[in-house]
Structure 1
Amino acid sequence: MTEKPIVLVVDDTPENIDVLSGALRGDYKIKVAASGETALRIAAGEPKPDIVLLDIMMPEMDGYEVCRRLKANPVTARIPVIFITAKAEVSDEQRGFELGAVDYITKPISPPIVRARVRTQLALYDQRRELEKIVAERTSELNETRLAVIRRLGRAAEFKDNETGLHVIRMSRYSRLIAEAIRVSDDWAELLLNAAPMHDIGKIGIPDHILRKPGKLDPDEWETMRRHPAFGAEIISDHPSELLRLSREIALAHHEKWDGAGYPYGLAGEDIPISARIVAIADVFDALTTERPYKPAWAVEKAVALIEQEAGRHFDPTLVGAFREVLPQVLEVRDRYAEHGVHID
């Protein structure tokens, strides 16, 4: 028997929830949320809703902000959102579509209209997923060529201060494991795997005497080193390719910290792109557990303890938990791509 599609109804008024649920319950499985925070948590959980019906005028977090956060999070970005609201001005509707909604229905609702709109948007969602699959298959050769270039550029940066370039191989695989642990889409996890190797491409712009200095950097040298995220973003530049956009995002933001103490912009919390927050953990773990000219390799237990200690300061606490969850697989990757005796294809 085919599972019914899941509809998440978000409204702070119980009567409105009852009306929408009653209109849809026969054909769909209904989940409800009376606040924006609850809606975001349900949408990111399992099983995910197939569509969200979202009120705008709610306390604490309005529907516009809920939609913005849904679309900003790769875990929930593809879920269709229909606004159902009493706000009937053209400017309100325009704003809803600009935030990524697929439809806009004003209250009071007509149950037959709501059912028709939901049915239409779910059909379009299914068609879009099928078309995306076809396009992906037809462009696989081009993607492989692009990925090969990305990987080699990432290794080019690593060869400046790493004899084998294995760091980018390990940390990119760690990044994918963390992403999978928070249940992002398979496509986005794969995209992260292929974008992460470019995180330090900006090191190409750092003089060797600074990059390879065995001792502590002086203030002027450190200021130069802190420019490599901006160098990286400039090297990758703006490009319509989803892969290159994510690569640039990571290169620019992977040294930001959860508490705002990072660089280059001092971003904090969820203002830091989730891609960069994931890569930050993967990058630091691999750096700690790998021998460098200026330090021996740390024991895994010591490195993990530091990352857990830095949850809420350097790192996103939720992602630290995800990292801990996949640590056994991370260590398998680490052993497979150890610094000695591994062939890089």
Structure 2
Amino acid sequence: MIRQYLNVILLLLLITALPAWAQVNTNYPTGIPLKHKTFLVLHSYGPDYAWTREVNEGIMSVLEKLDWTDTIRIEYMDSKNTYTEQYLEELAELYATKYQILHFDGIIATDNNALNFLERVGRQLFPVAVVVATGINGVDSIAKPTIARSVVIEKADHLATIRQALHQNPTAKTLHVIADSSTTGQAMLAEVDKLLPQLANEGIEIRIVPQMAFEDLLGYGSHLNQDDIIYMLPYLLDATNRSFRQGFVSTFLTKRAQLRIYGSWQFQIGGGMVGGRVLSGFRQGEVAAQSLISLLTGDTSVPEFTEPVTTYRDLYDYRVVRELGINLETLPETTFFINKPLSFYARHKQIILPSLSIIAILVIIVVLLLQNHFKQLDINRRDRAIIDLNREIIETQRELVMTLGEVIENHSKETGNHVKRVAKISRFLGEKAGLTNEELEILEAASPLHDVGKIGIAEHILHKPGKLSDKEFEYIKTHTTIGRDILKTSDRQLLASACSIAYQHHERWDGGGYPSRLKGEEINLFARITMLADIYDALSSDRSYKKAWSEQKVINYIRRNSAIFFDPRLVGIFLSHTDEIRALREKYCDDT
């Protein structure tokens, strides 16, 4: 029952956290083996132009996620303000100087002026770069042959936006088309002009507004009938070549009078325009970056010209729609709104959903607490008895292990205090090496069994006073395997650790030990610690075949065999604490 409640709690937590785990799916290649690629993004206009910012965001959303991008440089030609022959020549000289060392693998040109600039000087400035262009006003505006390997066409859906405007304003008598004086603006106006015959039967007069100064345009707008419709192309440059930031002109027009202004670019909506079937600059940049990556990875299926129809969507300013009294039912069913007031739930759902989840969890917790309150009282009583019993079992187990170690040492004609000293010194070294308290308890309890395998070695070999023959030495080395076989049948943590110590405490750091010739950190840490403690105490003690060494001789031996017999880190710890280790040995000396 408790597990079921916990599963419910976990499910609620997952539901609450799910939005944070949502990931955006990308369509560009992953796991690309290429490395150290450099890119140039060349924008026709300045960063103050909303379209340019949208396109750049789309490009960077792809390039910045690549693990093989070394350098990304972004240049703004600002050609809306200056686009003379002298300026282009000076710009080419600037780029030649600026990038005489840096060679680009790929270039993305945004809008026609940047592409035309590359057609003019790109083959000389960037001879090896793969070029992709985006935001290009139709195939006819591109030089033949073009430097670009792939071109993303910027094709606004003028006809769809105009027809939506006519449907939403059935009383309108006149449609005014406004374009700026830039090359791009006039190219867009030509696109609209070609579509006018398809609107001949719509019962509305269509006027192409002539080029004029900004102030004259405001005056023109103030004399329009409030039922008239304006279809406004991106406006950045008036007839006097005065430049404006995007949205500035449309905002002033709507402030002068409640004009019904429609547009076909996403960046236009939000400054007083009603809306329309808009083109996304972000998607234009994203498609261009994906095409460039595909070309650099050898994909031959990338089309020369791309018209990303998926970049359109019906976008409307809810506030403007309501102010102009436009019937919401006349808008397309797929309309996305900006500036739409959020419902109470939408405004507060980030608080409501977690709060409901928390309340549900608290209710479940209360139920669990009530259900288990009385059970816990009984369990606590029984647990006390079990804990006492477990403690007694653990202490008994430790005493048995220590006693067994002493029996083994006695079998080897060595003192029982040897295993106590090995245990205490091992714990001390382990503590200085950073082991946890639980690990130290296990190490101290398990290390006395390091020679448990000697119980299977004949006494006359163990007690031989002289040097062992090669055959006898090979025989006595089997005590490591015997010790492993004795202890391996248990999966208890204490005995499992004792098994590793018994089997590996004669392995050497340099791989020259036995039985498996393990080396370095392949050797169990407990075994490495026990080996150092065992050899230190053995060399410092009298044995049947030798006299005890002096302390200095033992220390020199250990220092000399660092990284040969012993873990060099443990040797460092040992040599830094010889006084404490000597004190431990004296505390459990054989005379006490």
Shorter-chain TM band:
0.5 to 0.7
Select the residue among 425, 447, 458 that pairs with 1:196. Answer: 447
Q: Structure 2: how far apart are the matches of 1:217 and 1:240?
A: 35
2:436 counterpart residue number: 185
CA contact (8 A) 2:465 2:545 kept: yes
1:105-254 pair list within 5 angstroms:
139-254=390-505
Task: For residue 140 of structure 1, report the CA deviation from its aligned partner.
Answer: 1.7
1:17-28 pair list within 5 angstroms:
none
| Alpha-carbon displacement from aligned partner over 1:105-150 (angstroms, at most 9, x marks no partner) | xxxxxxxxxxxxxxxxxxxxxxxxxxxxx99877321100111111
Q: Structure 2: how far apart are the matches of 1:316 and 1:336?
A: 26
Distance 1:282 1:136, change over 3 A: farther
2:330 counterpart residue number: none
1:339 counterpart residue number: 590
Q: Please tell me the residue identity of whatever aligns with 1:282.
A: A
1:275 counterpart residue number: 526
Residues matched between the structures, number: 212
Distance 1:138 1:305, change over 3 A: same
1:240-319 pair list within 5 angstroms:
240-319=491-570
Q: Structure 1: how far apart are the matches of 2:435 and 2:459?
A: 38
CA contact (8 A) 1:178 1:326 kept: no
Q: Please tell me the residue identity of whatever aligns with 2:514.
A: Y
Task: For residue 280 of structure 1, report the CA deviation from its aligned partner.
Answer: 0.7
Q: Structure 1: how far apart are the matches of 2:551 and 2:482?
A: 31
Task: For residue 255 of structure 1, report the CA deviation from its aligned partner.
Answer: 0.1
With the length of structure 2 as denominator, give the TM-score of the two structures.
0.35
CA contact (8 A) 1:233 1:251 kept: yes
Task: For residue 238 of structure 1, report the CA deviation from its aligned partner.
Answer: 2.6
For the residue of structure 1 that corresponds to 2:494, the secondary structure is helix
CA contact (8 A) 2:461 2:472 kept: yes
Q: Structure 1: how far apart are the matches of 2:390 and 2:509?
A: 37
Distance 1:138 1:208, change over 3 A: closer
Task: For residue 163 of structure 1, report the CA deviation from its aligned partner.
Answer: 4.5
Task: For residue 164 of structure 1, report the CA deviation from its aligned partner.
Answer: 2.8
Q: Structure 2: how far apart are the matches of 1:248 and 1:234?
A: 8
| Alpha-carbon displacement from aligned partner over 1:66-85 (angstroms, at most 9, x marks no partner) | xxxxxxxxxxxxxxxxxxxx
Q: Please tell me the residue identity of whatever aligns with 1:177.
A: F
Q: Please tell me the residue identity of whatever aligns with 1:160.
A: H
Task: For residue 263 of structure 1, report the CA deviation from its aligned partner.
Answer: 0.3
| Alpha-carbon displacement from aligned partner over 1:167-209 (angstroms, at most 9, x marks no partner) | 1010111100000011110111111000000000100111111
For the residue of structure 1 that corresponds to 2:515, the secondary structure is coil
Q: Structure 1: how far apart are the matches of 2:414 and 2:451?
A: 15
1:324 counterpart residue number: 575
Alignment gaps of 5+ in structure 1: 1-56, 58-133
Distance 1:235 1:330, change over 3 A: same
Task: For residue 162 of structure 1, report the CA deviation from its aligned partner.
Answer: 3.1
Identity of aligned residues (%): 38
Q: Please tell me the residue identity of whatever aligns with 1:145.
A: T
Task: For residue 331 of structure 1, report the CA deviation from its aligned partner.
Answer: 0.8
CA contact (8 A) 2:413 2:463 kept: no
Q: Whose radius of gyration is greater, 1 or 2?
A: 2
Task: For residue 276 of structure 1, report the CA deviation from its aligned partner.
Answer: 0.5
CA contact (8 A) 1:196 1:279 kept: yes
For the residue of structure 2 that corresponds to 1:159, the secondary structure is helix
Task: For residue 325 of structure 1, report the CA deviation from its aligned partner.
Answer: 2.5
CA contact (8 A) 2:529 2:570 kept: yes
Q: Please tell me the residue identity of whatever aligns with 1:287.
A: A
Q: Please tell me the residue identity of whatever aligns with 1:141.
A: E
| Alpha-carbon displacement from aligned partner over 1:80-107 (angstroms, at most 9, x marks no partner) | xxxxxxxxxxxxxxxxxxxxxxxxxxxx
| Alpha-carbon displacement from aligned partner over 1:204-252 (angstroms, at most 9, x marks no partner) | 1111111011111011101111100001111122312110000000000
Distance 1:142 1:336, change over 3 A: same
Q: Structure 1: how far apart are the matches of 2:391 and 2:519?
A: 36
Distance 1:163 1:319, change over 3 A: closer
CA contact (8 A) 1:177 1:326 kept: no
Alignment gaps of 5+ in structure 2: 1-66, 68-383
Distance 1:320 1:170, change over 3 A: same
Q: Please tell me the residue identity of whatever aligns with 1:284.
A: I
CA contact (8 A) 1:258 1:313 kept: yes
For the residue of structure 2 that corresponds to 1:204, the secondary structure is helix
Q: Structure 2: how far apart are the matches of 1:163 and 1:185?
A: 31
Q: Structure 2: how far apart are the matches of 1:252 and 1:314?
A: 16
For the residue of structure 1 that corresponds to 2:411, the secondary structure is coil
Q: Structure 1: how far apart are the matches of 2:387 and 2:428?
A: 22
Q: Structure 2: how far apart are the matches of 1:269 and 1:181?
A: 19
Q: Structure 1: how far apart are the matches of 2:434 and 2:511?
A: 26
